[in-house]
């Protein structure tokens, strides 16, 4: 496979999570957000709840999220109270009152930073306000070094169905230089507890192209990942958004940061995908591989491939998790236009077609929740055409597109409406159009985010994303 030869990884956002770009959102659009929150929901629209836990033991040098590493114990308690109050405020609004939750996502930051007592107290408040025990999926992000066996067991009792472990890399040297708080021994120790607790789905996160990464190290990471036989593996390619520690150093004085170029990162992800496919995983999106739960298939597909495959087939046979693999309710619902209420400082929401974000400063967030108000900061009301584009570009990240979906939902023939974009990427072997189905090639899959701006409206193609 031929990958595009590209320059080094430059400062700026690459990963696309929404449309129109966040830089277009404005405080003056907040009345529209308040209007939909005080109106009944659109019939048949699933509802999800995101909870931002912004605490970390250390700030990773590549992190661009709103996180805090310097808060005292009393600050954490203050935030938990504020978060619970925010959810309780939503529970009294027409958009959420009496409405079942389809999915719940605890993200960060580091949700597992909280103690067992804090987690149980928070969940009790949340469940009393907006019951979620019947949700189809409850995802919880973890940093290995913050876990203990009692905490893992508590998460399972609290109803977490999908636990995502932020491994990123198995090399202590690379973890340390990139500012990660955990080391490799903590990965293996926590993983034993996680598997023993019997979560229906366990995900491992990796990052291709961290500072200090090499081909030898990456092969070792893939080997160790396969040996763990997680139900899914998510691999992100290292980027340098504007507000990371690395990016600030580059912008301030041109300090060199040895992040691999895009062609190398894509080659690493391609290698990982191929090795995972050889032991029974399949592509679920541009970032995620899911494991077939059948030990028989793992044995059949791994025969004669490599020592990696033989190692994985044994591990997979011994650790098949219960439940159906490959279910990503949070991702798939969002990418098909569901409602999402995002709670916590700086969180993003999408409700009844309106985008909005919470205030991004601690004091502003806490003050608003203490007064019983929603901590809204900025919003955007997309046009119907922009809502179509949003779903089109996000669904392309799955590796395929079903044009019939857009005909039914939006009354649009996307193959005709976006013909120049599809033709461009087809001519460059990034995708294929076969009848009424669009499929990304492997090359397209590995650089899906680079393809998406071609589908943007002209005024957004050069806009700063964040």
Q: How many Å apart are CA 266 and CA 443, to the nearest integer?
A: 8
Q: How many Å apart are CA 390 and CA 224, to the nearest integer?
A: 36
Q: How many Å apart are CA 415 and CA 434, to the nearest integer?
A: 11
Q: How many Å apart are CA 60 and CA 145, to the nearest integer?
A: 14
Mean pLDDT of 216-226: 98
Across the beta sheet with 400-401, the strand order is 400-401, 437-440, 431-434
Domains of the chain from N-terminus onward:
22-330 (3.80.30.20), 383-457 (1.10.10.920)
Q: How many Å apart are CA 255 and CA 408, to the nearest integer?
A: 51
Q: How many Å apart are CA 270 and CA 28, to the nearest integer?
A: 44
Mean pLDDT of 263-281: 97
The pTM score is 0.90
pLDDT in tens, 132-163: 878 999 999 999 999 999 999 999 999 999 99
DSSP annotation string for 206-243: EEET-TT--HHHHHHHHHHHHHHT-SEEEEEEP-B-TT
Give Cα separations from 181 to 59, 145, 150, 233 (angstroms). Answer: 8, 7, 20, 21
pLDDT at 6: 52
Look at residue 302 and tell me whether its pLDDT is greater than 70.
Answer: no
Is 106:53 a contact under the CB 8 Å cutoff? Answer: yes
Residue 55 carries which DSSP code? B
CA of residue 158 relative to chain centroid, distance: 22
pLDDT at 3: 37
pLDDT at 73: 94
Q: How many Å apart are CA 174 and CA 110, to the nearest integer?
A: 20
Q: In which residue are the tokens 């005292």 written? A: 72
Look at residue 442 and tell me whether its pLDDT is greater than 50.
Answer: yes
pLDDT in tens, 339-368: 999 999 999 999 999 999 999 999 999 999
Q: How many Å apart are CA 365 and CA 345, to the nearest integer?
A: 6
Q: How many Å apart are CA 68 and CA 197, to the nearest integer?
A: 29
Give 418's contacts (C-beta < 8 A, 6+ positions apart): 392, 455
User: According to DSSP H, which parts of 92-214 are helical?
Assistant: 116-129, 149-157, 172-177, 184-197
pLDDT at 306: 35
Strand partners, 108: 53
Look at residue 311 and tell me whether its pLDDT is greater than 70.
Answer: no
């Amino acid at each position: 496979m031929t990958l595009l030869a590209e320059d080094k990884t430059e400062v700026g956002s690459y990963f696309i999570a929404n449309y129109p770009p966040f830089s277009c959102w404005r405080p003056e659009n907040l009345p529209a957000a308040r209007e939909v929150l005080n109106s009944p929901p659109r019939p048949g629209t699933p509802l999800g709840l995101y909870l931002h836990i912004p605490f970390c033991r250390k700030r990773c040098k590549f992190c661009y999220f709103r996180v805090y590493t310097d808060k005292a114990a009393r600050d954490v308690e203050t935030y938990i109270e504020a978060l619970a109050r925010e959810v309780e405020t939503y529970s009294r609004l027409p958009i959420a009152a009496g409405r079942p939750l389809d999915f719940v996502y605890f993200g960060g930051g580091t949700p597992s930073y909280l103690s067992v007592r804090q987690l149980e107290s928070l969940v009790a408040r949340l469940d009393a306000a907006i019951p979620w025990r019947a949700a189809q999926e409850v995802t919880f992000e973890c940093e290995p070094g913050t876990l203990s066996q009692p905490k893992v067991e508590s998460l399972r009792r609290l109803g977490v169905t999908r636990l995502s472990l932020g491994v990123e890399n198995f090399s202590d040297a690379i973890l340390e230089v990139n500012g990660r708080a955990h080391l490799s021994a903590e990965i293996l120790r926590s993983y034993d507890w996680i598997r023993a607790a019997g979560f229906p789905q366990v995900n491992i996160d990796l990052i291709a192209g961290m500072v200090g990464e090499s081909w030898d190290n990456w092969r070792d990471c893939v080997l160790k990942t396969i040996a763990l036989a997680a139900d899914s593996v998510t691999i992100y390619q290292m980027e340098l958004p504007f507000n990371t520690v690395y990016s600030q150093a580059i912008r301030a004085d041109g300090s060199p940061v040895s992040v691999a170029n895009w062609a190398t990162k894509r080659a690493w992800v391609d290698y990982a995908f191929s090795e995972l496919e050889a032991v029974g995983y399949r592509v679920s999106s541009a970032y995620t591989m899911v494991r077939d739960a059948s030990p028989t298939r793992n044995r059949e597909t791994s025969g004669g491939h490599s020592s990696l495959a033989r190692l994985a087939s044994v591990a997979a046979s011994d650790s098949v998790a219960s439940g159906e693999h490959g279910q990503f309710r949070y991702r798939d619902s969002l990418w098909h236009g569901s409602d999402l209420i995002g709670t916590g400082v700086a969180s993003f929401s999408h409700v009844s077609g309106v985008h909005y974000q919470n205030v991004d400063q601690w004091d502003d967030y806490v003050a608003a929740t203490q007064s019983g108000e929603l901590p809204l900061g900025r919003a955007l009301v997309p046009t119907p055409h922009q809502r179509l584009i949003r779903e089109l570009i996000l669904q392309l990240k799955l590796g395929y597109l079903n044009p019939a979906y857009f005909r039914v939902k939006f009354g649009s023939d996307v193959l005709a409406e976006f013909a120049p974009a599809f033709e461009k990427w087809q001519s460059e072997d990034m995708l294929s159009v076969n009848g009424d189905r669009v499929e990304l090639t492997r090359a397209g899959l590995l650089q899906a985010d680079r393809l998406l701006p071609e589908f943007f409206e002209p005024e957004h193609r050069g806009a700063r994303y964040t």
